[in-house]
Amino acid sequence: MLKKRIIPCLDIKDGRTVKGVNFVGLRDAGDAVELAKRYVQEGADELVFLDITATVEKRKNLTGLVEKIAREINIPFTVGGGINSVEDAQAIIKAGADKVSINTAAVDHPEIVSEIAAEFGSQCVVLAIDTKLEDGEWKVYIHGGRTPTPLHAVDWALEGERRGAGEILLTSMNNDGTKNGFALDVTAAVSAAVNIPVVASGGAGTMQHFADVFQQTRASAALAASIFHFGEIPIPRLKQFLKQQNIEVRI
């Protein structure tokens, strides 16, 4: 059985790690390079770096910062934000990323998923889906959660898989930063629908929340930010807790 992965996320704005609630109210969470080094020491399975304003500001990703982080870590590294072409993906991978995460560009031009997968392999392509519950339906949002689309999360995840995405990063905007737990319903629906790994994101506040998402959905990994950044839940303690719940993790 594949072990479940624990993934810290560095949301980057103006070169610093930040964290908000429901995608707004950002506050500083520290130096990205120092946090990345700490997470390797603590036993994180992977690291995600999201340049959260690159798309809105219509600029490229912070490749210089990506290079600095990549030099300091030896775990799989996913980078997203401002990736709009195969060339952008190539620059990020050249800077040291193992995978690229695409969100807005994939909605605007779905063929980009296939193009990047054809160039670098599906294992390099993460389809990031920011979703919000509206009138009983989980709708997809783009531009850092600012712009609604008519897409439904499950349908879009299936489309992404069909086009060559190797992983889904599923973030519930309703749950993001609330520490009230992951959105188990949409995570269960998406992870049951696709045959590629799903990373659950948004809402982790306790160790039990991680156990819940692994026991009640088919999520392959769980991602969190502030509870790791501010030391509220140390990764080694979380993994020991999950192991006690008979959830297979890498210790």
Tell me, what CATH number does 222's domain have? Answer: 3.20.20.70
Beta-carbon contacts of 126 under 8 Å, excluding residues fewer than 6 positions away, are 78, 80, 99, 100, 101, 102, 165, 166, 167, 168, 169, 199
| pLDDT of amino acid 29 | 67
* Burial label, 87 (beta-carbon count in 10 A; 0-12, 13-18, 19+): exposed
> Could you tell me if 10 and 239 are in contact, meaning their C-beta atoms sit under 8 angstroms apart?
no
How large is the angle between the packed helices 207-216 and 235-244, nearest 10 degrees? 50
Cα(107)–Cα(111) distance, rounded to whole angstroms? 9
Q: Structural domain of residue 93, as residue ranges?
A: 5-244
25 pLDDT above the threshold of 70: no
Count of other CB atoms within 10 angstroms of residue 212? 19
| Total tally of structural domains belonging to the chain | 1
Interval 197-234: pLDDT, tens = 999 999 999 999 999 999 999 999 999 998 998 899 99
In the Cβ-directed half-sphere of 177, how many Cα atoms lie within 13 Å? 13
Q: How many CA atoms lie within 13 A of 192 on its CB side?
A: 9
d(CA 141, CA 149): 6
Catalytic pick among 51, 130, 176, 212: 130
Structural domain contains residue 227: yes
Residue type, 191: S
In a domain, 119, yes or no: yes
DSSP 8-state class, residue 87: H
- The amino acid that residue 152 corresponds to is H
Rounded to two decimals, the pTM is 0.92
Q: Is the pLDDT assigned to residue 26 strictly greater than 80?
A: no
Angle at Cα 83 formed by Cα 100 and Cα 116, nearest 5°?
55
The Cα–Cα gap between 123 and 225 comes to: 23
Mean of the per-residue pLDDT values for the chain? 92
- Residue 249 falls inside a structural domain: no
Does the residue 251 lie in any domain?
no
149 occurs within a structural domain:
yes
Q: What pLDDT score was predicted for residue 102? A: 97
pLDDT of residue 22: 65
Burial class (CB in 10 A: 0-12, 13-18, 19+), 38: middle
Is the pLDDT reported for residue 180 higher than 90? yes
Express each pLDDT in 117-164 by its tens digit. 999 999 999 999 999 999 999 999 999 889 999 999 999 999 999 999
Is 45 noted as a catalytic residue in this protein?
no
Average pLDDT on 45-52 reads: 90
Would residue 184 count as lying in a domain? yes
Cα–Cα distance measured from residue 118 to residue 7, given in angstroms and rounded to the nearest whole number: 26
Q: Confirm whether 28 is domain-assigned.
A: yes
* Mean pLDDT lowest among 10-14, 80-84, 174-178: 10-14
Q: Is residue 223 part of a domain?
A: yes
Catalytic residue status for 130: yes
